[in-house]
């Protein structure tokens, strides 16, 4: 075998979905380690899911603004951890909608990563009962997907 066949693939841009679930936190830790190992950019995304918001909350601009501000704070904390860990370039993104579909159809085309790292289960949403967001992203994402459990 040639030496190049034995070298592991290096990623240049890693996208990781983060929320407060234990699986997402493990995915974040894995993505940080891989980004540092590959000297890759680390892109963090969180999705404000529509099914987390009832109709009255959706009509309340303050509620939506509060949800976004809370998400921005969480992303800032994740970014700070990644930078302290030694990741040189960290970007953050907030999206709204159904997590799997939003990441596949909106975030990936915008960010253009070569690896998506996600936890196997989400903290909320109807999808945990009727199918997996991770399964959807694994099937439809146009990039390599690593599901962490």
Strands (DSSP E) found in the chain: 13-17, 41-48, 90-96, 115-119, 144-148
Average pLDDT rounded to a whole number, residues 50-64: 55
pTM of the model: 0.83
Say if 57 falls within a structural domain: yes
Per the structure, the complete domain to which residue 71 belongs is given by 11-148
Query: pLDDT (tens digit, 9 = 90+) per residue, 71-119?
Result: 999 999 999 999 999 999 999 999 988 889 999 999 999 999 999 999 9
CA distances from 134 to 48, 69, 137, 138 (A): 16, 25, 5, 6
Burial class (CB in 10 A: 0-12, 13-18, 19+), 74: middle
**In this model, does residue 60 exceed pLDDT 90?**
no
Say if 6 falls within a structural domain: no
**In this model, does residue 129 exceed pLDDT 50?**
no
Average pLDDT rounded to a whole number, residues 119-141: 71
Would you state the structure tokens that stand for residue 50, as one six-digit string?
């529509």
Q: Is the pLDDT higher at 130 or at 149?
A: 149
Say if 3 falls within a structural domain: no
pLDDT at 124: 52
Say if 1 falls within a structural domain: no
Say if 67 falls within a structural domain: yes
Report the CATH number that the domain containing residue 139 is assigned in CATH.
3.40.50.620
Q: Say how many domains are in the chain.
A: 1
Average pLDDT rounded to a whole number, residues 29-44: 97
Say if 2 falls within a structural domain: no
How many CB atoms within 10 Å of residue 109?
9
């Amino acid at each position: 075998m040639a030496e190049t066949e034995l070298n592991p693939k290096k990623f240049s841009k890693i996208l990781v979905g983060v929320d407060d679930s234990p699986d997402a936190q493990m995915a974040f830790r894995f993505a940080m380690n891989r980004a540092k190992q590959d000297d890759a950019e680390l892109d963090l995304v969180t999705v404000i899911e529509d099914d987390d918001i009832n109709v009255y909350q959706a009509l309340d601009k303050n509620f939506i603004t509060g949800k976004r501000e809370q998400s921005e704070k969480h992303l800032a904390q994740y970014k700070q951890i990644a930078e302290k860990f030694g990741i040189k370039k960290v970007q953050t993104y907030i999206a709204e909608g159904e997590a799997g579909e939003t990441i596949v159809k909106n975030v990936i085309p915008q960010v253009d990563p070569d690896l998506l790292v996600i936890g196997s289960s989400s903290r909320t949403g109807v999808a945990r009962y009727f199918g997996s967001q991770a399964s959807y992203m694994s099937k439809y994402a146009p990039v390599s997907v690593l599901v962490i459990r």
